[in-house]
Structure 1
Amino acid sequence: MTELPRIISVDDHVIEPPHLFETWLPARYRERGPRPLTAGIGELAYVAGKYRITMDPDGPPTDWWIYEDLQFPYKRNIAAVGFDRDDMTLEGITRAEMRRGCWDPKERLRDMDLNHVEGSLCFPTFPRFCGQTFAEARDKEVALACVRAYNDWMVEEWCGDSDGRLIPLCLIPLWDVPLAVAEIHRNAARGVRAVTFSEIPTHLGLPSIHSGHWDPFFAACQETGTSVNMHIGSSSQMPAASPDAPPAVQASLSFNNAMASMMDFLFSGVLVRFPRLRLAYSEGQMGWIPYALERADDVWEEHRAWGGVRDIVPEPPSSYYYRQMFCCFFRDKHGVASLDVVGRDNATFETDYPHVDSTFPHTREVALDHVKGLDDETVFKLMRGNAIRLLELDHPRYR
């Protein structure tokens, strides 16, 4: 390999600018929509998978969103780039303290240049990974307007002047499937090919993927070539551990969410009914996938009659994984060593900018350390080729 291909990161994040809803939400909704605020923060703790947060006028200044009864602060661990590792703590932060690339698209492009990254798909922060914030709101008329406003901002402002480098990832109104279908078509008509979705909708109080409830959504995604992207934590629940375990335990177990979701889909019949639907797991890593596929195929072979899948999953589950699923990694040498089973056509790369896990500004070095010894064709697939297929990138720079 003479040079590492420029990376397309399938999992980064954006910190929303304070003007987002003032600019993009229709005027009649603005008084009831999200409002930015800078104020002191009091308690900020992460206990048993949930944040405990209070405001305190005498506390450290923090940038917040205020929406209905929700008080949402930005935290240093989600805007960690630029800080020393031991300073990537759980405390409030203002945009002025963040590296500007967290929320400014022009500065994000400069940071991507520093980091050997050509393209970037960014998950939301205030709306949470699949728009749970709006799904939980009481006023669904305003919530729908917020989903649309976020998507308009994402397409027109965040990605609009990036010459294809910032890749739009849109939300759906999770509480209404016909409205979600309409939003998929609205965004697909302007070139969007990626939507974010919950890894386990039942954890959000929504119907499961086994129920058929989501089939019109999956059909719309298949019809429009829209990939379904599921980030760990998009079920608002991290893997169970002792209630008093430090957050490091859940951080170490986070791949379990992706594994549980993948098993759900493999045995649901969704991939049988929608054979061109593409699913992507973000920040789940991939070293666990070989055994998960082996176990799924064993269960299908030995237990399918009593296991309830004999009539809905006609082929070994792994065949649907290789045909329709994508994983991603950023630090996973075991996964790279198992690439023949993980799938050279199924793995993608990410930088996780600006989260505490991000490899910025050393992503090129991290990537080279992982792919050394691999052939050029495989390296190209991992760094960008598979992402181009997943996201149907048709900008000239990706052809």
Structure 2
Amino acid sequence: MGSSASQKIGRTIRIWLKRDSGQYWPSVYHSMPSPCSCMSFNQETRRLSVGMDNGFISEFVLAEDYNKMTPDRTFQAHQGRVTVVLFVLEMEWVLSTGQDKNFNWHCSESGQRLGGYRTTAWVSCLQFDVETRHAFVGDHSGQVTILKLEQETCSLVTTFKGHTGSVTALCWDPVQRVLFSGSSDHSIIMWDIGGRKGTAIELQGHNEKVQGLCYAHHTRQLISCSSDGGIVIWNMDVQRQETPEWLDSDSCQKCEQPFFWNFKQMWDSKKIGLRQHHCRKCGKAMCGKCSSKRSTIPLMGFEFEVRVCDSCHESITDEDRAPTATFHDSKHSIVHIHYEVTRSWLLTSGADKIIKLWDMTPVVS
């Protein structure tokens, strides 16, 4: 027998075993009192934590041969649907978030609530750093909250606000101390927490909502998946650049034509106001005529062509346009992903009710 996988179908938790033939067969299942919303499995202890729509978390211990699952305890963690559950073996903590806008952590041995934090919007994703006891909480308002956890207290460290849509995926690299966040705004942001004074690098390579992120530490490659089926492999072992802040101006910063809200200059110059655009490379406010060019800028994260001003377009070389990511089509709308680092296997589950297992060795190496 090989490794195990778990699947949620309505109110049933089912364990699948991989046989020597390479096929997966159902081993054991357990019916739940409420529809399952999320789960976390610790392979070392074989502890399975399952969050449910009714706000409860049920914990099970799987037998060594994965042919039996023994209920351990069930406790009410939230007043609404559990959105994320995470078991931390080193602390014996169960971290969870819910649609009640609460982040809580419980003792996994007693089930006792140790502490909590009220978020501004309901939480969609969660990561935890064992060494520093920092929790990274992404929510539907588009912000990422960083909390410092103690045994029974937590303190707010900071919040990151860079997405215009809800945060849909988080991935933490404890080695480089970098946090990746994906969003429904189609973008990914790399937050460098490990000493570069809060550097934020944008990655633009998806046409739909980012559904999952995972990081291959040994090759420094980021894997991202989106709801349109796109799988993007990002090379993070390059010197990337921050995108500039968009500058404010009442007129084009090249030809000085007034923008349409600048009534005084329009009246004085007897000119019709123009629509404002921004160059993605320098951030200057430009009219459409002065920013009519398009170009990729991979080192700034723009793998697709974006608007640039005429001056910046002339400065971008063919070497600057060399892609830093590869694109692949999964052929289904991805809902969830899991990456097995030791085997370079990527598991994707889709809205088409199909689970696919990918050998990523040819592209993650």
Q: Structure 1-normalised TM-score?
A: 0.27
Structure holding more helix per residue? 1
Higher RCO, Cα 8 Å, sep 6+: 1
Structure holding more strand per residue? 2
> Rg: which structure is higher?
2
